[in-house]
Structure 1
Amino acid sequence: MLLTLLSHQWKANRRSPVFQKSIVLNIILGLLILYFGAIFLFVGFNLDKILAKSYPGQLPIEIFNGALLFYFLVDLFFRFVMQELPVLAVQPYLHLPIPKQKLIHFVLLKSVPNFFNLIFLLIFLPFMISAVIPEYGIGAALAWLFDAIALTFVNNFLLIYFKRQLSNKPMYTLLFGVAVAGLVLLDYTGVFSLYAISRVVFGALLQQPWLVAVPVLLLAGVYMLNYNFLKAHTYPEELRVSERRQVEGKSIAFLSRFGELGQLIELELKLIWRHKRSKSVVTMSAIFLFYGCIFYSKDTYLDDFAILIFVGIAMTGMPVFNYGQFVPGWQSAHFDALLTRRISPYQFYAAKFWIFVPTVALVYILTLPYGFFGYKIILINTAAMLFNIGVNVFVVFYFSVYNKSRLDLSKSSAFNWQGVGASKFLMTLPLLLLPSLIYAPFGFMGVPYMGVATLGLMGLFGLTFHKPLLQWTASRFVKHKYKLAAGFRQA
């Protein structure tokens, strides 16, 4: 039965028109995988020498073991951002004499041949051959490798479970994310050392290979967790109810007070929430809030206003950059229908503007804790927030008339280059470089706070005169709307 289901999936993929269109992209991805795979293999076979040179007097295996817990936490993080859920059109099979258990096992096992589940072997396997086997023997080395494989699959099924729970019980996912972040924070503050714990745990496994039973039992438990969840949610009537609820949605009473503008904002928010690509863009913007940790924790950067302005602009403006770069491509699937409706271009862009303003303000509020590293960070981020709202939003709108590529909203943004082109690159340059160029003369004259104030005042000016700027944006849209429509039809 598993082979039959695999053949059905293969035929569905081959017969899909998307498969033919993405052959070139798949070839490019294959070449990139081969290139980076060769790099990982080279690093794996030489990692023991690299660690011996970098940490003289310490055994490379102990250093490697100490980093394994960090690796699995980072692996879990990237899986949450980039890994897709394994899916199967279950409904056509449920009325057939096929045990439901086999369908569920197929869905779960379908996630095993995954990029994240295989890439680690390119480093772990060579390192085991070159460093672990000569030191501990082949039996202990194989137990060590099997332990790493089991924990990798634990990450895989754990991620699948929490991603599925995100739509039903988001609090579970939130608590899990808080627990992981708490571990990292406790390690950072020195309450306990994840490095020391990892070194002890994986070192004990090399001394006592039978301990490999622990991660195997953990893997079995996570697998059964997923199995029971899917088994409880694969009834035909439940699938129909969940599908109907997703389509209908609910209106937002607060936005109804603002008339047609509020309705457009409501439709835009529903579009963001209901589709993979828009949700993944929002997720990436939220993750970018931690970008400041790279710079603010180092004293050398805290004295450089230019770098702090760049970081502030990037953090507070990431929702504008990520989501705004595809305006109006988000509506590409129904763009012709929009042109036939009595919706003015001014209202179309005003709705997007009033989505960006509170979003950027919320991101700014979330960056306020960085003020513990210095009061100047709050001042710079305030100016950056105003500049993003009053200037960068309209820069995004200016370039939006050149976005003629259609978007498939059912796909996530991970490894997806649809809609990405030269205009996106040209748009990003002024968004990030313009604030630095405005600040540069003040930095050279030794009056950095005047430069920060100038950025903030420019943002306030743009926010004050947002209506004329929106009218100018709408007039540009009117001139290019038929080119946009033609581009969306051809894509």
Structure 2
Amino acid sequence: MLLTLLSHQWKASSRSSVFQKSIALNIIIGLLILYFGAIFLVLGFASKKILLGLFPNENPVIVFNGGLIFYFLVDLFFRFLLQELPVLAVQPYLHLPVRKNKLIHFVLVKSLPSMFNLIFLLVFVPFLINAVMPAYGIGAGLAWLFAILCLTLSNNFLSLYFKRQLSNKPMLTLAFGVVVAGLMLLDYVGAFSLVTISKAVFGAVLSQPWLAVVPLFFVIGLYLLNYSFLKAHTYPEELAVHKTTQVEGKGIAFLSRFGELGKLIELELKLIWRHKRSKSLVTMSVFFLFYGLIFYRNQTYMDGFAVLIFVGIMLTGMPMFNYGQFVPSWQSGHFDAILTRRISPYQFYASKFWIFVPVATLAYLITLPYGFFGYKIILINTAAFLFNIGVNVFIIFFFSVYNTSRLDLSKGSAFNWQGVGASRFVMMLPMMLLPVLIYLPFKYMGVPYIGVAAIGLLGLIGFIFQKQLLQWSANWFLRHKYKLATGFRQA
């Protein structure tokens, strides 16, 4: 049955109209995988020498073990961000004598040959041969590698489980993320040392190889957890089965007070929540809020302003940038229907504006704790927030008329270049550079805080004149709507 399902999957992919169009892109991705694979392989063979150079008085294996917990935490983060859920269209099998548990097992096993599950071998196997086996013996070395393999697979199934729970129990996923972030924070403030724990755990496997069996129970438990979740949902979304239902519902009572504008906002929110690509972009935006830790802990950056302004723009505007870069391509599947409805372009852009503003406000409020690193972070982020909702949002609307590529909302955003064009990169230039250019003259005059205030003031003026700017955006859209419609039909 496994071979039969694999055969069906391959035929479905190779016979798809998309397959021929994506050959060039797949070749490029393949070359990139080979390139980075070679880098990791060289890193694996050079790891012992690098560690001896950095820590000349310590055992390189012990130093390597000390970083493994951090490796698995980072691996889990990137899996959650980038790893696609394995899918299978089960409709063709429902009328056949195929047990549902076999289909579920196939979906779970299908996730194993993932890049995240294989790439670690390029580093760990060379290090095992060069450093671990000569020091601890073949048996202990293989047990150590087996333990790492089991923990890697545990990350695989743990990530898949929480990504599936994201649509059903988002608070559970959020709680898990808070726990992981809390562990990192406690290690940072010195409450305990993850390095010490990591050295003890993996050192114990080397001294007592039978302990390598313990991570195997983690893999089995997480596999069964995913299995029970999928089996409990007869037609889970992760298996790409969608029931045909009438698009109705109680709606959001709060938004109904705003008439047609509220209905458009409600429909936009439903679009975000019901489709894989939009949800994955939202998830990426949430994780990006930790971006400030890279810069705010560095005193060199804290002594200046330009970099902090750049970071402030990114932190308070990234959710808006991520979603706004594909306006109006989100509606590409039903764009002709929008043009035939009694929806004015002003309402169309106003609904998006009043989604962006609360989202940017929420991102700004979440970044306020960064103020513990320095009070000027709050001042800069406040100015950046005002600039985003008063200026950058209309830059997004200006470039939106050049987004003529159709989007497939059922696909995730990881390694998905559909709809990504030159206009996206050109759009980011004024959004990132304009606030810094506004600040620079005041810097050279010796009044940097006035420069920060000027950024915020320009954003505030733009927000005050939002109606006029929205009308201008609507007129700009009217000049290009037929070009957009043609592009969406041809894509």
Q: Could you tell me which residue of structure 2 aligns to residue 145 of structure 1?
A: 145
What is residue 217 of structure 2 aligned with on the other side? 217
Structure 1 residues 52, 241: closer, same or farther in 2, change over 3 A?
closer
- Structure-to-structure mapping, 1:323-338, within 5 angstroms: 323-338=323-338
Deviations 1:301-349 (A, max 9, x none): 2120111111111111112211111111111111111111111111111
User: Over residues 359-404 of structure 1, what are the superposed CA-to-partner deviations in whole Å (9 max), with x where a residue is unaligned?
Assistant: 1111111111111111111111111100111011111111111111
Matched, 1:396 2:408: no
What corresponds to 2:196 in structure 1?
Answer: 196
Q: Which amino acid is the alignment partner of residue 209 of structure 2?
A: P
- TM-score (norm. length: structure 1): 0.96
Residue 374 of structure 2 is matched in structure 1 by 374
Deviation at 1:435? Answer: 0.2
Give the conservation status (yes or no) of the 8 Å contact 2:88–2:240. Answer: no
Partner-residue secondary structure (3-state), 1:414: coil
**Deviation string, structure 1 residues 183-221 (Cα, Å, up to 9, x no partner):** 111111111111110011101111111111101111111
- Which amino acid is 1:153 matched to? L
Give secondary structure in 2 for the equivalent of 1:70.
helix
- SS where residue 446 of structure 1 aligns? coil
Q: 1:174 is matched with which residue?
A: 174
User: Which aligned pairs between 1:214-363 and structure 2 lie closer than 5 A?
Assistant: 214-234=214-234, 243-244=243-244, 248=248, 250-363=250-363
- How far the C-alpha of 1:9 sits from its partner, in A, is 1.2
The secondary structure found in structure 1 opposite 2:317 is: helix
Deviation at 1:101, TM superposition (A): 2.6
- Corresponding residue for residue 111 of structure 1: 111
Measure, in 1, the Cα distance between the counterparts of 2:249 and 2:135. 60
Deviations 1:423-477 (A, max 9, x none): 1111000000000000000011110111011111101110111111111111111
Partner in structure 2 of residue 26 of structure 1 = 26
AA partner of residue 143 (structure 2): A
* Aligned partners of 2:90 and 2:241 also within 8 Å: no
Q: Which moved more, 1:97-106 or 1:443-452?
A: 97-106
Cα distance, 1:242 vs structure 2:
7.1
**Aligned AA (1:137):** G
Distance in 2 separating the partners of 1:468 and 1:376: 32
How far apart, CA to CA, are the structure 2 residues paired with 1:165 and 1:399?
35
Contact kept, 8 Å, 2:398 with 2:473, in 1: the verdict is: yes
Cα–Cα, structure 1 residues 57 and 250, in superposed 2: closer, same or farther, change >3 Å? Answer: farther
State the alpha-carbon separation in 1 of the partners of residues 438 and 38 from structure 2: 44
Give the equivalent residue in structure 1 for 2:86. Answer: 86
Pairs within 5 Å for 1:417-436: 417-436=417-436
2:25 corresponds to 1:39: no
CA distance 1:242–1:3, change in 2 (3 Å) = closer
Which stretches in structure 1 are left out of the alignment for 5+ residues?
none
State the AA in 1 paired with 2:428. Answer: T
User: 1:165 and 1:468 mapped to 2: Cα distance?
Assistant: 43
Q: Which moved more, 1:160-169 or 1:427-436?
A: 160-169
- The 3 A distance-change label for structure 1 pair 232 and 189 is same
Q: CA deviation at 1:235?
A: 6.5
**Residue in structure 2 matched with residue 7 of structure 1 by the alignment:** 7
**What are the within-5 Å matches in structure 2 for residues 432-443 of structure 1?**
432-443=432-443
Counting only pairs closer than 5 Å after superposition, residues 97-136 of structure 1 correspond to structure 2 as: 97-136=97-136
Q: CA deviation at 1:95?
A: 3.7
- Given that 2:390 and 2:460 are in contact with CA atoms closer than 8 Å, whether structure 1 keeps it comes out as yes
Letter of the 1:103 counterpart: L
Q: Which residue of 2 aligns with 1:77?
A: 77
Distance 2:298 2:194 in 1: 22
Amino acid at match of 1:57: N
Report the CA distance between 1:128 and its aligned residue: 0.7
Identity of aligned residues (%): 74
- 1:443 is paired with a residue whose SS is helix
Query: Residues 178, 335 of structure 1: CA spacing in aligned structure 2 closer, same or farther, 3 A cutoff?
Result: same
- Once residues 249 and 291 of structure 2 are traced to their aligned partners in structure 1, the CA distance between those partners, rounded to angstroms, is 34
Output the CA distance in 2 between the equivalents of 1:23 and 1:377.
46
Following TM superposition, the consecutive aligned residue runs of length 4 or more in structure 1 with deviations greater than 6 angstroms are: 239-242
1:283 aligned partner, one-letter code: T
| Cα distance in 2, alignment partners of residues 241 and 62 from structure 1 | 48
Q: How many Å separate the matches in 1 of 2:155 and 2:408?
A: 29
Q: CA deviation at 1:245?
A: 6.4
Q: Which residue of 2 aligns with 1:444?
A: 444
The CA distance in 2 between the partners of 1:490 and 1:329, in whole Å, is: 13
- Which is worse superposed, 8-17 or 475-484? 8-17
Aligned to 1:56: 56
Deviation, 1:57, is 0.7
Partner of 1:405, secondary structure, is: coil
User: What amino acid is aligned across from residue 319 of structure 1 in structure 2?
Assistant: P
SS at match of 2:243: helix
Cα RMSD, aligned residues only: 1.7
* 1:139 counterpart SS class: helix
The answer to whether the 8 A contact 2:403-2:419 is kept is: yes
SS at match of 1:119: helix
Matched, 1:464 2:461: no
Could you list the per-position Cα deviations for residues 40-63 of structure 1 after superposition, in whole angstroms to 9, with x for gaps in the alignment? Answer: 101101110011111111111111
Secondary structure, aligned partner of 2:144: helix
Cα distance 1:449–1:479, how it changes in 2: closer, same or farther (>3 A)? same
Give the CA deviation at 1:98.
Answer: 2.3
Q: Which ranges in structure 2 are unaligned for 5 or more consecutive residues? A: none
SS at match of 1:120: helix
Per the alignment, residue 17 of structure 2 pairs with 17
Distance 1:266 1:368, change over 3 A: same
Amino acid at match of 1:404: T
| Equivalent pair of 2:140/2:209 in contact (CA under 8 Å) | yes
1:385 maps to 385
Deviations along 1:4-51, whole A, 9 cap, x unmatched? 111111111112222222111111110100000011101101110011
Question: Partner of 2:7: helix, strand, or coil?
Answer: helix
Shift in Å at residue 167 of structure 1? 2.1
